[in-house]
A and B are shown apart, each in its own frame.
Chain A
Amino acid sequence: MPEKALKGIKIVNFGWVYAAPYCSMLLSFMGADVVKVESRLRVDQTRRTGVFVGDGATVGLESSPMFNNINLNSKGVTINLKNPKGIELAKRLVAECDVVMENMRPGVMDKLGLGYEDLKAVKPDIIMLSMSGFGSKGPYGHYAGYAPVFASFGGGAYLTGYSDGDPNTGSGVMDLRAGTAAAFAVLSALVYRNRTGEGQYIDLSCSESVGVLVGPELLEYPLTGRSPERCGNEDVIMAPHQVYRCKGDDKWVSIAVATDEEFAALCKVMGKPELAEDPAYADRYSRWENRKELDKIISGWTPGYSHLEITRMLQAVGVAAAPSFTAEELVSDPHTIAREKFITVDHPTQGKKWVLTPPWKFSETPATIEKCCPVIGEDNDHFFLDVLGLSQEEYAILKEEKAIE
């Protein structure tokens, strides 16, 4: 059995929806053990959103493939955090772990008695990650945030959209961007802890995690005094640099040209070699200046072919082209299949679920998906009896008192 890069790292995740669960899932792909703390009295809303398996009658807490896809590899326990005995249990669980994650509104963990200082008291070198829309401090620290909010406040939405259209907040996956940034912060904290013995508190702003992804564009403001505008698919200097309609229903190909050689090759494939000599398009700047005209010419050619045909024709002559793939095309594409991008996991009620494999191919420590998302409370026995060492009687009483619920 190949080794796991992060074997032995234990994460307890009080997080929900997408941001914190995605963060721990990324680390679990490399072997970290994750336990999700939920409660039937406070269910992760993702269990109740998305497309459900089965008809209305079977809709329940275990029916969301969206939840499965963002909580893979995780174990699950149920603790009622409104019950003081539940809080004690949560602390005992934290004491067994290296990392605590949460993405409740700022201040909620403190009020529950699960703030960083409380947790440090039970585990002095604990690493705690808090994720929130705006960060926990400051004038907007207590404000509510979801993906479209981070996208807007962070500066990403303003830059996304057609040049003559409204700004766009994207497809609702900004939380995953925040989760990726958080995963790096947590790993760096683990490295630091192993070197110095010190834990830390990490306070991540999801809006800022969007902002840094458009850092070069933000930096334009202090450098030039201007704020850049949205421009669809266009580039600051490359042209053609656009997505063009192809044969078929709503089928599109992306074509990007940087050099004169690439442009000449494109013109030849289009059967218009003379374009490459035309002073209006002969050099990089002219192509950029006359990009709208150029786009019209290319748009007159692409509908005669499928996006795959155009991709093949252009790649054969060294021009960067790729389809704007649909999900359906991606799952049946020979390249993603050759790269083993999709596997199934067995879910106890949903059956076989197709999921995407991890985004890195390690030569020595393969990143893996070992299991589906947790059924609510499925690991209660293991954690409360084996890990925390409760007696059967204590366990029964805590269930009775709804501390475990």
Chain B
Amino acid sequence: MANGPLNGVKVLEYCENVAGPYCAKQFSDLGAQVIKVERPEGDEARRRGPFYHDEADPEHSACFLFNNTNKKSITLNLESRKGQEILKKLIAKTDIFLEDTQPGTMERLGLGYDTLSSINPGLIMAALTPYGQTGPYRDYKAYYLNTFHASGAGYLLPADSPNTDREPIKMGGSMGESDIGICAAVGILGAYYWREFNGGKGQYIDISKQEAEMAIERQNIALYHETGKSKTRTSNSAVRDILIKCGDGSYIKIVLLPENQWNGLVRALGNPEWTKKEEFSTDALRIKNYRQMEKYLTETAKEYNSYQLFEKIQAEGTACAPVCNAEQVYKSPQAEVRGFFVEMDHPAVGEIKYPGMPFTSSAVPPTDNQAAPLLGQNNEEIYSGILGYSKEDLVKLKEAGVI
């Protein structure tokens, strides 16, 4: 267990893939005890690539390894009556229970909020589902692709498309699912604060993935109400910025509005003649003549790689950044100084550096980080150490397919 500001908080997680596990990771990385309850087959993420050394081993999945740091893993079959009984025992010893099954599943298993809160009245139970526990789409099936597009966020991407000939897309990688996880974590920790420090009690939190992503894309809704028109992927972003391909094939993004951004760029490039042209003399004209400006800048950028241009332009106070791939993010000198990457040792993949927290804290820098658990790694510790089952019981439970 990591050392951090949430030491002492107890979380039980029954979630798979990204959103739920990433939510619980917020807690475990800051020192909470998180017990991850996995089906005997394990979290689905264990079967998703990429894998360490390209070996499709359930302990090698990047997705699993990232989203489950600092947690303990136990296996439990909630479809079995005994499994349900064991879960209830664990519920009695937890502050927060996070689950991501389809609405109605926990009730079917006899593990609905009413039952669980009668066992532990202080329980905070949070359910993370595609469309929430109510409403006409409550039972709709969805994967990340679907909830992201259902939130309205996909329709805006890729931003600044030249036309709408091609399909709207999702944000890359796990981003939309991770958005949901952290949004949920904020609400859950708020509920915990109420219970612990504001004279509150346990409660149930219904979180819809669609709504959590809509929260991020909230300006889209406000804009529609003003204009009566839906924004689409050809619309420009609020701050006009430009993407330029550099000499080495990498990209740089440069912010060109307001005027001081442009002025810094001009200085950085050594006041070339083309920047003095009438057609680039005001913000309005630069927006209008964006494509010509793009041509000039691309010509200039041929002499540089994106990192060189980045440092040169930032030195004049203009916001810009290289478009970094994973390797570049890992090799960033900034990440090095901030200690963004945290080394952890894992029984199957060894010592690897993981992306850590996006902030540093003066009071409790998290220490003692542990890599993700092996499937069922903590069965004995939890079932025997906490619930008091004997080793003999554990063998029986395993034989019966309960754990």
A306 close to B (CB within 8 Å): no
In Å, the complex CA distance between A223 and B164 comes to 37
Would you call B174 and A216 a contact (CB within 8 A)? Answer: yes
B392 close to A (CB within 8 Å): no
B189 CB, min distance to chain A CBs, angstroms: 4
Would you call B63 and A140 a contact (CB within 8 A)? Answer: no
In Å, the complex CA distance between A320 and B145 comes to 9
Would you call B216 and A173 a contact (CB within 8 A)? Answer: yes
Across-interface contacts of A296 in B (CB, < 8 A):
none
Across-interface contacts of A145 in B (CB, < 8 A):
319, 321
A220 close to B (CB within 8 Å): yes
Across-interface contacts of A342 in B (CB, < 8 A):
221
Binds A, one of B223-231, B273-281, B381-389, B395-403: B223-231
Given A220-B62, A228-B173, A325-B149, decide whether A187 and B214 contact each other with a Cβ distance below 8 A: no
The digit string for A129-165, where 1 denotes a CB below 8 A from any CB of B, is 0000111011111011111111111111111111001
A5 close to B (CB within 8 Å): yes
Given A146-B255, A170-B171, decide whether A339 and B134 contact each other with a Cβ distance below 8 A: yes
Would you call A354 and B225 a contact (CB within 8 A)? Answer: yes
Given A187-B186, A252-B167, decide whether A146 and B239 contact each other with a Cβ distance below 8 A: yes
Q: Which single residue of chain B is at the shortest CB-CB distance from A178?
A: B358
Interface core residue of B141, B174, B230 (most chain A CB under 10 Å): B141
B86 close to A (CB within 8 Å): no
Given A3-B198, A144-B317, A223-B349, decide whether A171 and B159 contact each other with a Cβ distance below 8 A: yes
Would you call B214 and A188 a contact (CB within 8 A)? Answer: no
Binds B, one of A80-88, A274-282, A326-334, A379-387: A326-334
In Å, the complex CA distance between A207 and B201 comes to 37
Interface core residue of A141, A192, A223, A334 (most chain B CB under 10 Å): A223
Question: CB within 8 Å of B: which of A346-393?
Answer: 353-356, 358-365, 367
Question: CB within 8 Å of B: which of A174-224?
Answer: 176-178, 180-185, 187-192, 194-195, 198-224
Across-interface contacts of B185 in A (CB, < 8 A):
184
Across-interface contacts of B154 in A (CB, < 8 A):
243, 254, 324
Would you call A228 and B50 a contact (CB within 8 A)? Answer: yes
In Å, the complex CA distance between A153 and B402 comes to 46
Given A69-B218, A213-B179, decide whether A201 and B361 contact each other with a Cβ distance below 8 A: yes
A124 close to B (CB within 8 Å): no
B380 close to A (CB within 8 Å): no
Partner of A219, one of B66, B152, B198, B232: B66
Would you call B164 and A218 a contact (CB within 8 A)? Answer: no
Would you call A156 and B241 a contact (CB within 8 A)? Answer: no
Would you call B143 and A256 a contact (CB within 8 A)? Answer: yes
Would you call A198 and B363 a contact (CB within 8 A)? Answer: yes
Would you call B214 and A341 a contact (CB within 8 A)? Answer: yes
Q: Which single residue of chain B is at the shortest CB-CB distance from A200?
A: B363
Would you call A327 and B200 a contact (CB within 8 A)? Answer: no
Binds B, one of A34-42, A45-53, A89-97: A45-53
The digit string for B306-328, where 1 denotes a CB below 8 A from any CB of A, is 00000000100111111111111
Would you call A204 and B238 a contact (CB within 8 A)? Answer: no
Partner of B237, one of A172, A221, A232, A361: A172
The digit string for B171-196, where 1 denotes a CB below 8 A from any CB of A, is 11111001100111111011111101
The digit string for B363-380, where 1 denotes a CB below 8 A from any CB of A, is 110000000000000000
Would you call A360 and B143 a contact (CB within 8 A)? Answer: no
Partner of A232, one of B153, B167, B204, B207: B167
Would you call B323 and A157 a contact (CB within 8 A)? Answer: yes
Given A6-B194, A330-B152, decide whether A359 and B214 contact each other with a Cβ distance below 8 A: yes
In Å, the complex CA distance between A203 and B358 comes to 9
Would you call B363 and A144 a contact (CB within 8 A)? Answer: no
The digit string for A99-135, where 1 denotes a CB below 8 A from any CB of B, is 0000000000000000010000000000000000111
Would you call B198 and A192 a contact (CB within 8 A)? Answer: no
In Å, the complex CA distance between A335 and B140 comes to 11
B206 close to A (CB within 8 Å): yes
Q: Which single residue of chain A is at the shortest CB-CB distance from B54?
A: A224
A304 close to B (CB within 8 Å): no
Across-interface contacts of B104 in A (CB, < 8 A):
none
27 A-B residue contacts at CB 8 Å? A5-B190, A30-B190, A65-B226, A144-B319, A146-B239, A148-B239, A155-B326, A156-B175, A162-B166, A172-B238, A172-B239, A188-B4, A191-B196, A205-B359, A208-B358, A211-B355, A213-B173, A215-B178, A221-B326, A224-B53, A230-B172, A242-B167, A330-B152, A331-B224, A338-B134, A355-B221, A364-B194
Among all A-B residue pairs, the 4 with the closest Cβ atoms: A159-B172, A360-B187, A200-B363, A192-B5
